[in-house]
Structure 1
Amino acid sequence: MQASSSLYELRRASHAGSWYTANPAELDKELTSYLSSASQFPLPEGAKLKGLIGPHAGFSYSGPTAAWAYINIPPSHYKRVFLLGPSHHAYLSTCALTKSQYYQTPLGNIEIDREVTEQLHAGGGFQYMSQKVDEQEHSLEMHAPFIRKAFGEGVKLVPIMVGNLNAKSEQEYGERLAPYLADDQNIFIVSSDFCHWGSNFDYYHKEQGLEVHQSVEKLDRQGMQLIEDTNPEGFEEYLQKTDNTICGRHPIAVFLNAVRSYSLATFGSKVSDKIKTKFVKYAQSNKAMKKTDSSVSYASSITYFQ
């Protein structure tokens, strides 16, 4: 997937007009409505928001859930957003970076932090993706309008497409990113939907005595609890045991390992009480009842340092 050495100016908003509206006024109104309907989490005094997990489906499905994470962002506090998302179309066994200089959104372009992107590439383990691969992927793009809306035009973006990593690689990438997590001017956003259930996804986990949608929620919340516990090993075991179709499993695990690495370096403990992750919203595209139904789950979390 190695791209050519030359930069290109714009990563086009290739899903605008289909997954979300391409009309700037309508998009701004839609995002404003989602954010207005969400509630802020009562962060402790002095706490610093350092990370979000949010979904990446079409905005009519996932936008209201994503807003529950984005409503907590104080934009003036950050200069740089690290955006981690999975690859749905291109097979990738490492992590890939953009060669673009700007991410296009209908609300205005977001500048790519070329200096940090090139630092990551120079350190090894990160490759560049082609423009075609970059623009095919929706997991990163679906967060770009929210980022432009929440942060305005002053923030820079570091998009990272996370491939099909093993647990060792997830830990290594987390350790690589931990120093950036420690910088108060940086925030991490992880793109992931949760359970994809039913005939559309060939996944049919169901517990006896529960409706399908209840079983799906119980399954998702087991994984969400492990994320809140900053437990990447437990999260990996849970995924192996349940096969839950969490598409952003690898970006989530990289982020968990980054948090753990930061905690160990800063507080001398892999899981410090100075670091908290809380899920603030959970929803499903529809309440599946039978095997012929399909649904996708959406969840949003925040991670903050005290």
Structure 2
Amino acid sequence: MSLRKDAVAGQFYPVDKLEITQMFDHYNKIIDDALQDKSILAIKPRAIIVPHAGYVYSAFTANIAFRVLQNTHAKRVVVIGPSHRVYLKGVSVAKYDSYETPFGNLKIDITLADELMKRFGVIFQSDAHAEHSTEVQMPFIKNYMGDVSVLELVYGQEDPAHLAEIIDYLLEDKDTVVVISTDLSHYYDIDKANKLDSICLDAVASLNPAELHQGCEACGKIGVEAILHVAKKRGYQATLLDYRTSADASGDKSQVVGYMSAAFS
């Protein structure tokens, strides 16, 4: 049995599942106490956008998205994120049998992986799969979704229109949900970051992929553009769930990274 080993546990998120659970419980208490529009918690998304920084910075923003994703009772979760470490042309699928998380392993849908390789020219480039943008989502999935099967797609130089075709095909299955991973602007002061990130947020809220090219600096912009095309085609509604920056955790407003989460239902 081949295993997609965790590559960034102990760096981006804790190794200990109890420590992660305590974080999630803490975030959920804040949500329950402070969220004004509780109807958001009843959303049943077909897809979500989540950040991928270290949990101390971005896990609150991701947590609310995965909390609503569990409402779907989906059987399969496909996680799509940009490659940060390895040059990659196109899309690579993690073709292993299972995926390691602190909560236990997740089964990888090998049959679907083979189907995407055959139908869309997706490849398996093994060195692309020590990627944090996708891995940090897996503990959330195991915690909130239980024994679902997963698929990890990592993209590099890719046409958003082609990635949109893949996502559209995946969402034909009502038991499948899609997770798009991205952070927003990187290392600007808080005012500049807020200004740039507002472009990304507006583009998502209005399902306007063209607006992304007017200054949005999301590292996963290709994935965001792809899901916006699909959401528009399928008549989904976008709901912004959370936005914040690293300054919310660090207090440093001189060089921040932006994070958002959104749901498409």
TM-score by length of 2: 0.89
Deviation at 1:76, TM superposition (A): 6.0
Secondary structure, counterpart of 2:153 in structure 1: strand
Counting only pairs closer than 5 Å after superposition, residues 1-306 of structure 1 correspond to structure 2 as 9-38=2-31, 39=35, 42-43=39-40, 48-74=44-70, 77-130=73-126, 132-135=127-130, 137-153=131-147, 155-165=148-158, 169-198=159-188, 212-235=189-212, 237-238=213-214, 242=215, 244-261=216-233, 263=234, 272=235, 275-286=236-247, 289=253, 293-304=254-265
Deviation at 1:36, TM superposition (A): 3.0
Task: Give the whole-Å Cα distance in 2 for the aligned partners of 1:95 and 1:257.
Answer: 18
Secondary structure, counterpart of 1:16 in structure 2: coil
Task: Give the whole-Å Cα distance in 1 for the aligned partners of 2:199 and 2:29.
Answer: 29
Residues 196-255 of structure 1: CA deviation (Å, up to 9, x unaligned)? 024xxxxxxxxxxxxx413321221122111222222232x22xxx3x431111111122
Task: Give the whole-Å Cα distance in 1 for the aligned partners of 2:41 and 2:24.
Answer: 26
Task: Give the whole-Å Cα distance in 2 for the aligned partners of 1:192 and 1:75.
Answer: 22
Residue 204 (structure 1) aligns with: none
Task: Give the whole-Å Cα distance in 1 for the aligned partners of 2:157 and 2:24.
Answer: 31
CA 126–65 in structure 1, closer or farther in 2 if over 3 Å, else same: same
- Compute the RMSD of aligned alpha carbons: 2.1
Deviation at 1:56, TM superposition (A): 0.6
The answer to whether the Cα contact below 8 Å between 1:173 and 1:258 also exists between their aligned partners in 2 is no
Structure 1 unaligned regions, length at least 5: 1-7, 199-211, 264-271
CA 145–218 in structure 1, closer or farther in 2 if over 3 Å, else same: same
Q: How many residues end up aligned between the 2 structures?
A: 258
Task: Give the whole-Å Cα distance in 2 for the aligned partners of 1:193 and 1:111.
Answer: 26
Report the residue type matching 2:143 in the other structure: K
Residues 113-163 of structure 1: CA deviation (Å, up to 9, x unaligned)? 111111000113211121x3312x10000101011111012x110111121
The answer to whether the Cα contact below 8 Å between 2:183 and 2:260 also exists between their aligned partners in 1 is yes
Secondary structure, counterpart of 2:103 in structure 1: coil
Task: Give the whole-Å Cα distance in 2 for the aligned partners of 1:89 and 1:41.
Answer: 39
* Bigger-Rg structure (1/2): 1
The answer to whether the Cα contact below 8 Å between 1:28 and 1:107 also exists between their aligned partners in 2 is no
The answer to whether the Cα contact below 8 Å between 2:49 and 2:180 also exists between their aligned partners in 1 is yes
Q: Give me the identity figure in percent.
A: 26
Structure 2 unaligned regions, length at least 5: none
CA 254–41 in structure 1, closer or farther in 2 if over 3 Å, else same: farther
Task: Give the whole-Å Cα distance in 1 for the aligned partners of 2:29 and 2:179.
Answer: 20
CA 48–193 in structure 1, closer or farther in 2 if over 3 Å, else same: same
Report the more deviating stretch, 34-43 or 19-28: 34-43
| Richer in helix (by share) | 2
Task: Give the whole-Å Cα distance in 2 for the aligned partners of 1:10 and 1:185.
Answer: 24
Task: Give the whole-Å Cα distance in 1 for the aligned partners of 2:29 and 2:101.
Answer: 21
